[in-house]
Chains A and B, each alone.
Chain A
């Protein structure tokens, strides 16, 4: 399929494909309101745009694997502030995930929004398209300025989605969302960007980083650690505690928003940004040699465990999933903070694995709501009998989150644990293992409740009538569920891509990957 796609887009240069990837969702955002009176046509615009976008990113993929580094300098706003795009492997991976899942999510949205008779659907699809355009810009950003621009655009475009219901509760959540995300980005992220520029005279993402740790202009570990703190807390979308409150609050949004944005695009934009900053601004060499990353390792480990414990005590299904996301995001931050080749690989892989698993879980939560208007975990007794497919998918995704084979989550956890040992943080390895147990503790009871507890008010011996969510929802759930399984067996395309990441000249990086990667090859480096 990929080869036929490649021949289809062969005529276009990579630069043109970048432009297309940025513009397709933007054009869709303009076209959607045009057809607001004809819902079928309106949804068709979204679907066509999603497919076209995925075609763009998937035809860029082989080119990146072949070693191409497409660059697109749009415009220099002011000295140092350049609007520029460059595709490096991490960004390619993120763009692939977001664009592919947009198709699935659009199918699901149609089922969910119509099944629920939600108001203001046009506005919903417009904001979604704008958010995707911002996500693409973030994934392909070539420097901190472009990244910051896309980051803020993503916050602003998702605010109307969070407040979609217009209830006082939604408004309050919207306020928390804005204040935490805009607040952290303005007060911490922006100064971090400014200081980076002032200290190094550059903002470009560069292999090996731009922060000097030795030589004439060396910065003290204290300054490097402080700068890292500004980035980690400033990128509030990564939901590192205590900047995580916006994520549970944002759960008032319709479920497709929680699914694609607050399990994939927005939160992953956060951890992706942190990963990118660690790899291309600081450089893992710099971090591990100055030990400026140590405190984040501890903080992220703490977040992983604490968020899991909080998740256990949430009765609201979406809130439980949200805290689970907070915990899982800290895996990736931890992977970045450990600053070894394997941990970076694990972090990047976890962006992919968690995306598929968590979007499935949210799809299921939404399906339960559409079909039976149930939102609390305690109401889910025996629901597996009514919605067998949905709850089966829920179970698969749960197992993937836990990290059991044969599900995708296995790989990311493997590399993360390996990375923690490489970086000489043995306790972090323990954290990953304990956290797996906690995952079981807060997700598995939902599955067992759904399948093994009796359906309240229903005689045990009689068969239960199946009442599943709309077909569009089920299609989406099935696709992402199968994705969780497929990613265990077909992890190579992602791994090959991540192996292309230029971590700077580190000799042990190659050997660390060599022993464990299923391909066994590191020729991409």
Chain B
């Protein structure tokens, strides 16, 4: 049921998906005017979800992964791109978020970034998008590192373009942490190469199962696993390796924050799942190293401690950033429990959280566009002046609380079932108890924006322009819609989870 006819380009969609944004980035550097660069980016990013949906439908239809050999070199000699249910699903999420933000971005960029930097910003945005898509689509451990670095480097620039002076410091912080993370990852990959002599994920997986019989090789493999998990945990901001994230999100330009919150950590989570489940297999990671236990403890800590930090925050962007750390905790909890239901919940939450959190940050971006601040003190009473913006914010916030009828509930449901399947009844209560904290922090900002007297800044504010409201409401609407129709999220996640968990046995 291929919805679109790509003609002769159809077999080359995997590479096009990565190369379109990267070439778009290249061309946009030559466009000196921000508007032109934005127009180019608009065309580029709108084409990407179409490509990834075509890929997803094809994979779902055939049930077989799509293997694309670059330069027609066979694996393991050449690099292959592999699109299976999991990667096609994450590709859809990332490319969709990337596309939805762009129509919104024009006014926001124009307001927050000086003219010569506007086209650089677009360049970095496209480069980052290309890198993230590359991480997800590639079937090669080193290639993944390359894309990881492409996306990270462009992210540093995106953050540094923030108007606040502290954006530079935040970017520098992330640069240090991100580099350590990437270095750990590449050390791990290097060790794996020593043990197996290959970098292809599928090939690695096969050779590792025989290589670990030798005790020396086994130790090297375990060391590699340790390095890779820690390195990626830094990139995905798993508690307590999340300290770079709140500042980075708070001081980056609004559009960058919305984009990164929806996509960047998700790509790192994907890579972690891919490496731990498809390459090592849980047999190795469970028995030899207590990685699931470790992830379980850390993700529970994230769910509670980061949520608490969010409660006491007075800057709305930082509040949502802490909430992101907590939500990453939910996803990693599902990964750590490592059964079919929990993995379905984790993967569904990748999409659900991306949509909700992007909507929330877009709403804040609209507020920033109007009043130039997202501090609670300036935002008080803004709900009466920007009712449509803040209503969308409230809907996405309710989704974050995991209220039934929103997509957040679906993720939580599967996570809780997963916890019961794993026999961890106490975890069920921790899941619901931590979402109660999200009620507090969402409730607090709701009260500020709707019920307080308008601040001087808010008193003169106007409703956000239509170009911002439409993407915002699209995402807010999806938050509710995906709470009822789970065919695109939980059903696809369940299929991907089947493959991941099946790979272990």
Contacts and interface: CB of A to CB of B under 8 A. Distances in A.
Contacts of A78: 410, 413-414, 486, 490-491
A152 interface: yes
B155 interface: no
B402 interface: yes
A149 B483 CA distance: 11
Contacts of B439: 178-179, 182-183, 186
B403 A198 contact: no
Interface string B402-436: 11110000100110110010000000110011011
A419 interface: no
Interface string A70-106: 0000010110010100000000000000000000000
Nearest to B419: A194
A190 interface: yes
Given A78-B410, A186-B435, A198 B417 contact: yes
A374 interface: no
B428 A191 contact: yes
Given A77-B410, A77-B483, A183-B439, A156 B420 contact: no
B428 A194 contact: yes
A166 interface: yes
Contact of A194 (B401, B405, B413, B484): B413
Interface string A189-205: 01100110110000000
Given A78-B410, A152-B405, A182-B436, A166 B420 contact: no
Contact of B429 (A148, A187, A198): A187
A186 B404 CA distance: 10
Contacts of A178: 439, 443
Contacts of A343: none
Given A77-B484, A152-B404, A191 B416 contact: yes
A269 B318 CA distance: 38
A193 B268 CA distance: 33
Contacts of B404: 145, 148-149, 152
Interface string A365-378: 00000000000000
Between A78, A166, A195, A197, the greatest number of chain B beta carbons within 10 A of the residue's beta carbon is seen for: A78
A383 to B, nearest CB: 34
Given A149-B405, A152-B405, A186-B402, A197 B417 contact: yes
A148 B401 CA distance: 15
A174 B413 contact: no
A175 B432 contact: no
A194 B403 contact: no
Interface in B476-498: 483-486, 490-491
A197 to B, nearest CB: 7
A182 B401 contact: yes
B428 A175 contact: no
Contact of A191 (B401, B429, B443, B491): B429
B402 A83 contact: no
A163 B446 CA distance: 12
Contacts of B490: 78
B8 to A, nearest CB: 39
A153 interface: yes
Nearest to A146: B404
Contacts of B410: 77-78, 81
A166 B417 CA distance: 40
A198 B414 CA distance: 11
A198 B425 CA distance: 11
Nearest to A76: B486
Contacts of B405: 149, 152-153
A179 B440 contact: yes
A171 interface: yes
A163 B451 CA distance: 8
Contacts of A182: 401, 436, 439
Contacts of B414: 78
B438 to A, nearest CB: 10
Between B410, B413, B428, B490, the greatest number of chain A beta carbons within 10 A of the residue's beta carbon is seen for: B413
Interface string A124-166: 0000000000000000000001001100110010000001001
B252 interface: no
Nearest to B402: A186
Contacts of A83: 484
B398 A171 contact: no
B435 A75 contact: no
Contacts of A77: 410, 483-486
B429 to A, nearest CB: 6
Given A77-B483, A148-B404, A153-B405, A186 B436 contact: yes
Contacts of A175: 443, 447
Interface in B449-489: 451, 483-486
Between A149, A175, A186, A187, the greatest number of chain B beta carbons within 10 A of the residue's beta carbon is seen for: A186
A414 B440 CA distance: 44
A57 to B, nearest CB: 23
Given A148-B404, A149-B405, A182-B401, A81 B432 contact: no
A171 B433 CA distance: 23
A194 B416 contact: yes
B165 to A, nearest CB: 36
A141 to B, nearest CB: 12
B432 A174 contact: no
A470 B104 CA distance: 51
Contacts of A183: 436, 439
Contacts of A179: 439-440, 443
B65 to A, nearest CB: 25
Contact of A186 (B398, B420, B432, B491): B432
A156 B397 CA distance: 12
Given A186-B402, A187-B433, A191-B429, A174 B416 contact: no
A190 B432 contact: yes
Contacts of B420: 194-195, 198
Contact of B484 (A75, A148, A190): A75
A183 B451 CA distance: 21
A149 to B, nearest CB: 4
B436 A174 contact: no
A81 B433 contact: no
Contacts of B401: 182, 186
Contacts of B428: 191, 194-195
Interface in A406-465: none
Contacts of B484: 75, 77, 83
A178 B403 CA distance: 13
Nearest to B404: A149
A179 B486 CA distance: 29
B312 to A, nearest CB: 16
A146 to B, nearest CB: 9
B436 A81 contact: no
Nearest to A178: B443
Contacts of A145: 404
A127 B428 CA distance: 33
Contacts of A163: 451
Given A186-B436, A191-B432, A174 B447 contact: yes
A61 B428 CA distance: 40
Nearest to A145: B404
B451 A171 contact: yes
A174 B447 CA distance: 9
Contact of A187 (B417, B432, B485): B432
Question: When A and B form their complex, which 7 residue pairs have the shortest distance between CB atoms, in order from nearest?
Answer: A149-B404, A198-B420, A194-B416, A78-B486, A186-B432, A187-B432, A152-B403
Interface of B: 398, 401-405, 410, 413-414, 416-417, 420, 428-429, 432-433, 435-436, 439-440, 443, 447, 451, 483-486, 490-491
Interface of A: 75, 77-78, 81, 83, 145, 148-149, 152-153, 156, 163, 166, 171, 174-175, 178-179, 182-183, 186-187, 190-191, 194-195, 197-198
Given A77-B485, A182-B401, 7 more contacts: A83-B484, A148-B404, A156-B398, A186-B402, A186-B432, A191-B428, A195-B420
6 contacts: A77-B484, A149-B405, A186-B435, A186-B439, A187-B429, A190-B416
